[in-house]
Amino acid sequence: MSIFQAPRPGILPAQSIETLIATGAVTSDTPFDHDQVQPASLDLRLSDQAWRVRASFLPGKRKVEERIADVAMHAIAITDAGVVLEKGCVYIVRLQERLKLPQGLIARANPKSSTGRVDVFVRLLTDRGASFDDVDEGYDGPLYLEVAPQTFSILVRPGTRLNQLRLKAGDPPKLETRSVGVDLQGGDIVGFRGRRHAGVVDLDHIDGHDPRDFWEPLSLRRGELLLDPGEFYILASSDDVEIPVDQAAEMTPIDPSVGEFRVHYAGFFDPGFGTDEAHGAGSKGVLEVRTHDTPFLLEHGQIVARLVYEPLTERPSRLYGESGSHYQNQGLKLSKHFRVW
């Protein structure tokens, strides 16, 4: 297998991902979409093949579909008309993309921002993979996605994009780690809580849902918010997030000793996020928050996550938001599936 040569260790930019596609290291069942390659990541698309399973799993030393046979409840054909994936259930969906990574490259997947904001838990699986979301150097095989809707049932089709893949050359250094606090004083509405008995979210219907049918607004109250176990919240960071044009970042969990809650299911920030020169720098980081077994009182400015910055191998041929984005210059904002509150 060939060895990938990068100018320096780092995350691959758009033009390098396009080269991998052109040379057959990344292939697909259908032609790639024109907007599928992001500044420093590749959107992955659902195929028409899925299974409802009774438990999550790691394949270990076996192929994914061999393990599915042990836990499958029934197969599902995802059609162009759409299939509903029910909240509280676990599904495995084969993705359209396939990898044949050259030596010198690894990959890591993460949910897309819009996926995390509707509380859909997704994780990438590979044949004989020992961990979720990570793809080993030299991997040659199909990709699968575990999909577990938590708050809302969702409607998906072949081509629906729930996660994205970041490719990395060598062992790039961690350039910086910044703390991320929560904003509970930013306006009359400081957050949203998902409604327990809402309808179905069509993940391919942009601006197509009334947010009042799905979300309860949370009003300002002394800079505090009591998180109830089992509830899902959309909040905003207290500080703006800016990603330099030659870097990318991932939002990672904090030490659980400072709070029993989970923040940010979707953790990739592409180069150029929050640095839109036409509209001024700075965008809030939107936080997807779910507490664990006990109620937790969250205070304004409390540190809830970390941003870890890594270099790109070179400046990308396009930056985040250059051709339009739902989340550039954002404040507190629901996913793109909902109309403005």
> In this predicted model, what pLDDT tens digit does every residue of 225-266 receive, in sequence order?
999 998 999 999 999 999 999 999 998 877 655 556 777 665
pLDDT, mean of residues 292-302 = 89
- Is the pLDDT confidence value at 277 over 60? no
Say whether pLDDT at 341 is over 90: no
pLDDT beyond 60 at 37: yes
- Predicted local distance difference test score (pLDDT) of residue 166: 96
* Residue 325 predicted with pLDDT over 70: no
The residue among 110 and 282 whose pLDDT is bigger is 110
Q: Which amino acid is at 191?
A: G
* Average pLDDT score over the chain: 91
Comparing 21 with 322, which gets the higher pLDDT?
A: 21
Using a pLDDT cut of 90, give the percent of the chain over it: 74
pLDDT at 221 over 80: no
pLDDT at residue 328, rounded to an integer: 67
The reported pLDDT for the residue numbered 257 is: 54
